[in-house]
Amino acid sequence: MITLGEYIIKKQHESPEATGELSSILGAIRLATKVVNRDINKAGLVDIIGATGVENVQGEVQQKMDLYANDVFKAALEARGEVCGVATEEEDEFVSFDDQRCINSKYVVLMDPLDGSSNIDVNVSVGTIFSIYRRISEPGQPVTLEDFLQPGTEQVAAGYVIYGSSTMLVYTTGYGTHGFTCDPSLGTFYLSHENMKIPDAGSIYSINEGNYLKFPQGVKKYLKYCQEIDGPTNRPYTSRYIGSLVSDFHRNLLKGGIYIYPSTASAPKGKLRLLYECNPMAFLIEQAGGRATDGFNRRIMELKPTELHQRVPFFCGSSKMVDKVETMMEEYSSEEK
């Protein structure tokens, strides 16, 4: 039984270039995760569920837990003194940490502090997503927007927390995708899923079929393919969509499957954000042997960001399933490339 902290230190010793700051940042995220987990579990008992009535930059009504989780993660990261700034779904602009230790640090963090938070009021699992980069600007100077607008291939670490029937933290530093489960009696994360690998084929597809009429033709054709009866190819597949990216992603990672949030007539760039949802999940799935693209064979992690909250179409999961939907996108929706 090895704890998350012990594993981070063990792996740090295996990476000669590691200097401990990254381990410290992961430790700050681990601490904040425990605080958020504790308060999610009693959200119905204290006044932190429901909407604030305030809209974020996405035009979405912020849930009270969104803002609470955002503040908890920001405070934990700033206090550790290893991060010079953060960008999150809940902040219109990036946040610069300017005390002497932070301004001289080497890393920036991008986060969706509480993804799928509208599910909290109905007791459905939600998640936290994070992505860590080395800064481009010189230490000693305030962080700049360019420090955050880096392609996903530059990530030094990424991960998520799923606040589900058990609380798990799954992360990668580029040496595999590893899962840790929290023992609630101790509040300690223990290694439970080392070197996770997604099956290269699966029979689960995750998409909001309520948007069917607005989907690209290639996605419509793929959904019909999934629903056809064909014993040898294990179809019809099963539709599973929780409305919580982290939950759908985690299940597909373990069992095989594909998650699709395509462009639609009303959301031409899709809904999910490149920097703090798609890139970290793409890093994790590629480290687990899967694929993450925009539906036209463009790796999510190679897309050059132009703004903090930009959205991209997201096709992510078992490699053969992503391959299949991409052939249909090429055949029926190539005009949308």
CA Rg value for the chain: 19
**Nearer Cβ to ligand P6P, position 156 or 300?**
300
Nearest distance in Å: CB 243, ligand P6P: 5
**Nearer Cβ to ligand P6P, position 45 or 213?**
213
Nearest distance in Å: CB 241, ligand P6P: 7
115 binds ligand P6P (CB under 6 A): yes
Specify the length of the chain in residues.
337
Closest listed residue to residue 307, CA positions, set 132, 55, 87: 87
151 binds ligand P6P (CB under 6 A): no
Nearest distance in Å: CB 122, ligand P6P: 13
**Nearer Cβ to ligand P6P, position 244 or 252?**
244
Strands 157-163 and 167-172, bridge-based pairing: antiparallel
**Nearest 5°: CA angle at 54, between 53 and 59?**
115
- Lay out the site mask for ligand P6P across 186-225 (x = CB under 6 A, - = otherwise): ----------------------x-----------------
Select the residue interacting with ligand P6P from 85, 116, 256, 262 (CB under 6 A): 116
Nearest distance in Å: CB 313, ligand P6P: 13
Nearest distance in Å: CB 321, ligand P6P: 17
Nearest distance in Å: CB 252, ligand P6P: 12
Please work out the total of residues on this chain that contact ligand P6P, with binding judged by CB under 6 A: 8
**Nearer Cβ to ligand P6P, position 50 or 243?**
243
CA distances from 15 to 20, 134, 155, 316 (A): 10, 16, 16, 29
Q: Scan residues 153-192 and list those touching ligand P6P (CB under 6 A).
A: none
**Nearer Cβ to ligand P6P, position 190 or 241?**
241
Nearest distance in Å: CB 116, ligand P6P: 4
Tokens 């703090």 sit at which residue? 276
Phi-psi region of 81 (alpha: psi -120 to 50; beta: other; left: phi over 0): left
Q: Scan residues 232-271 and list those touching ligand P6P (CB under 6 A).
A: 243-245, 271
Closest listed residue to residue 144, CA positions, set 199, 104, 95: 95
**Nearer Cβ to ligand P6P, position 107 or 276?**
276
Closest listed residue to residue 4, CA positions, set 21, 37, 29: 29
**Nearer Cβ to ligand P6P, position 37 or 104?**
37
User: Do residues 56 and 90 lie in contact, with contact meaning Cβ atoms separated by under 8 Å?
Assistant: yes
**Nearer Cβ to ligand P6P, position 117 or 173?**
117
**Nearer Cβ to ligand P6P, position 33 or 244?**
244
Distance, CA of 129 to CA of 113 (rounded, Å): 6
Distance, CA of 101 to CA of 81 (rounded, Å): 5
Nearest distance in Å: CB 250, ligand P6P: 12
114 binds ligand P6P (CB under 6 A): no
Tokens 């990424």 sit at which residue? 158
Closest listed residue to residue 114, CA positions, set 153, 60, 78, 150: 60
Nearest distance in Å: CB 168, ligand P6P: 16
Binding region for ligand P6P (CB under 6 A)? 115-116, 208, 243-245, 271-272
